[in-house]
Structure formats: structure tokens, C-alpha cells
Amino acid sequence: MSYSPFRHIGSVFWKRRPIQLTFFLTKRCNSKCSFCFYRAGRDIPEEHGTELSLGEIEKISASMGKLLWLAFSGGEIFLRDDIVEIAKVFYERNKPSIILFPTNGLLTDVIREKIETVLKHCRNSTVVVKLSLDGPENIHDFIRGGKGSFQKTMQTYESLRGLIDEFQNFELGINTVYCSANQDYMDAVIEFVGGLDRIKTHTVSLVRGKGLEEIDIERYRETIDTLAGNLRKRTSGIYRFRGGRLKAAQDILQRRLIYDTETQKKKLIDCYAGRLNLVLTETGELYPCESFSMRMGNVRDNEYDIEIIMESGQSHNIISSIKDNGCFCSHECYLMTNILFSMRMYPRLMREYFKLAVD
């Protein structure tokens, strides 16, 4: 029996515990993406420690409850040799409805082997692999900083697509980072991805940091309108998991909110960072979100107990500041939770829901 996302419906009313964890497994990477906000924006002193060990991660997992969404991040996550064991720890203890594995797709054999193992073990969770594809071959290779990156990613796609029929809990998708280097090629990217056999989802993530200043936001608007139109025409073929149509409606609303946020430059929706969402880094630092500007504490200094950190005065102050101040962002993962768990967003969400085609 799958772990239904609807188990967390109570969090619409009570924002008492985290149900979404973004875990940056490593800052190591085998790509050199110019837009990377993680390595470029975080100069971590050596004394802050090494990557969390599997034993340490087990303790952290034990301090948390059931999760809706577990998103691994990095760096390139498949450079962690123990990624399967890490996934198993959270699966057994926290029973996430969805486990996300974003990857640049360069380690074809490693990715195929480890994802197949995860699928066999974590049968009650939806396992989502998102391959990075940022443009036609020459553009993708330029953005990713390595000749042959496009072809390696396509090899990984070919290797993984055979698992879709074998595992009903497997979702294989593409993610494109929208940036100045590829904004003139988005129609071509969308058309190319639309022609890939067995690809169920295509997400477009707006670049972060200084890269935002270089994009044409109106071209981004055109891109998200195209994606919305595609979703409305063939929703039943996009997501296979329970609640997939609702998630598709949320995708459309989320991208429109990102556009509105960036054009209006203000907070347009309540943010549950630090309450429903948490971010954990490879060295044990805990943050409410990926801005990495509001440090809540380090698990190594707090008995590897997330709850101890969340109950600290520092965390309470951070959460209060998020509620009260005008901070805003266009980070997709957090807007997802903010939309799905905000009752005041439901009228807009339902309007998108009923626009979606049904077979």
C-alpha cells in the first residue's frame, strides 16, 4: 500500500511539524554549472566538518515524523556512495510519500543501479528522478560546463525509462533551469522533451541569485504559458501517483506565482518555511529554506535531534520573522507546500484543477 500524500491533510490546519525535508547530501559535483547557487553561494569553512555519516543521518531521521516530501539535493547526489542506504533510512523511519532524486545524469550506470535498488526497497513511496536538461546539445553542454554532458544525460534517460513499466511507483521527468543562456531556446526544449518516450513531467525552474537579473521575465511568462497549455491538454498522462491532477494544477499556479513575485517584487503568499519545510545541509546545518540566510542550528550540536533545534529560541525568532517580514522568493519547492497547505489559495487552485483535461 502506497504512502498517500493525503495523510498530511491535517497540516492545512496545524503547521506543527515539518513534512517536507530538502537534504543537501553533498556539495561535490561533476558539473560546472555557472548558475549553481549552492556551491557558488556557500563558502563552508573546513572546520565546520565533513559530510554527515550514515549513522548520523539515522539519528536525524529518528527525530522526525512522517514526511510528505523528501527531496535530495546537492551537488550531484549520486556522488554519495551510500545514497541507497540513506534513502532506506528515511523510507523505513519517515515513510515519505515522495522521494525526489534530481541529477545531472552523468553517472549512467551508477544512477541506474542505485535507482533500481531504491525502487525495489521503497515500494510504498513514489520515487521521482528528475534529469537535468537545459537546452539543445550545444547549449546544454555550455551551461553544464562539459562537452558530452547532453549525450550522457540522454544515455541515462534511455537506461532509466525501462524501469517505468516494471515499477508503478517510478516517475521519470526532466527539469530545465531557465536562465539567460537558454531563454531563447525554451520552445525547442519543450518540444524536444515532449517527444521523449515515457517522460511524464517537465518542470522549468527559474534561475536564482544574480542570474535573475539577466533574464527576460516576459519570455519566462511565455514559457510557463506553454507548459500550462500542455498540461491542460494531457493531464492524465503526466503524473501517475494519487493526487496527480491536483499536483498538475499546483504546478500551473506555482509558476504563475513565481512570475508575479518576480515582477511585483513582494510577498504574495504565506510562507511555511521553518514550520512545514526544512533544509538540511551535508554538514548538519539546519535552515528553514534554501536562502541559507537564517541558520537555525547544527544537528551535531543538538544531539542530532531536529525537534530540539526547532524548539530553540533562535528558531522561534526565525519563524516569527518569516511570518512577519516581507521576505519573498521564487523557490519552487517551497511555493509548492505554501500553495497546497494554504486554504486561501484553494479557490485559485481549484480553478486550475477544473481547467485540466480528463480522459
Q: Is the pLDDT of residue 272 over 60?
A: yes
pLDDT of residue 241: 76
Identity of the amino acid at 250:
Q
pLDDT tens string 156-194: 999 999 999 999 999 999 999 999 999 999 999 999 999
Q: Cell for 177?
A: 533551469
Query: CA-CA distance, 254 to 115, in Å (whole number)?
Result: 28
SS3 content of the chain, % helix, strand, coil (to 5): 50, 15, 35
Q: What domains, with CATH codes, occur in the chain?
A: 5-355 (3.20.20.70)
pLDDT of residue 168: 93
Query: CA-CA distance, 356 to 237, in Å (whole number)?
Result: 11
Query: CA-CA distance, 281 to 48, in Å (whole number)?
Result: 11
Residue 9: other Cβ atoms inside 10 A: 11
Residue 215: other Cβ atoms inside 10 A: 18
Query: CA-CA distance, 169 to 189, in Å (whole number)?
Result: 26
Binning pLDDT at 50, 70 and 90, where does residue 48 land? Answer: low
pLDDT tens string 73-126: 999 999 999 999 999 999 999 999 999 999 999 999 999 999 999 999 999 999
8 A C-beta contact, residue 120 and residue 87: no
Q: Which of 6, 22, 19 is nearest to 73 (CA)?
A: 22
pLDDT tens string 196-212: 998 988 999 999 877 78
- Name the 3-class secondary structure at 343: helix
Q: Say what percent of the chain tops pLDDT 70.
A: 95
pTM of the model: 0.94
Provide mean pLDDT across the span 125-131. Answer: 97
145 vs 24, more confident: 24
- Name the 3-class secondary structure at 352: helix
In the chain, at which residue ranges do the beta strands (DSSP E only) sit? 20-26, 69-74, 98-103, 126-132, 170-178, 201-206, 277-280, 285-287, 297-298
Query: CA-CA distance, 136 to 179, in Å (whole number)?
Result: 14
Q: Cell for 311?
A: 524548539
Q: Say what percent of the chain tops pLDDT 90.
A: 76
Q: What is the mean pLDDT of the chain?
A: 92
Q: Is the pLDDT of residue 47 over 50?
A: no
Binning pLDDT at 50, 70 and 90, where does residue 235 land? Answer: low
pLDDT of residue 334: 86
Provide mean pLDDT across the span 235-245. Answer: 71
42 vs 351, more confident: 351
How would DSSP label each residue in 213-250?
GGS-HHHHHHHHHHHHHHHHH-GGGT--STTHHHHHHH
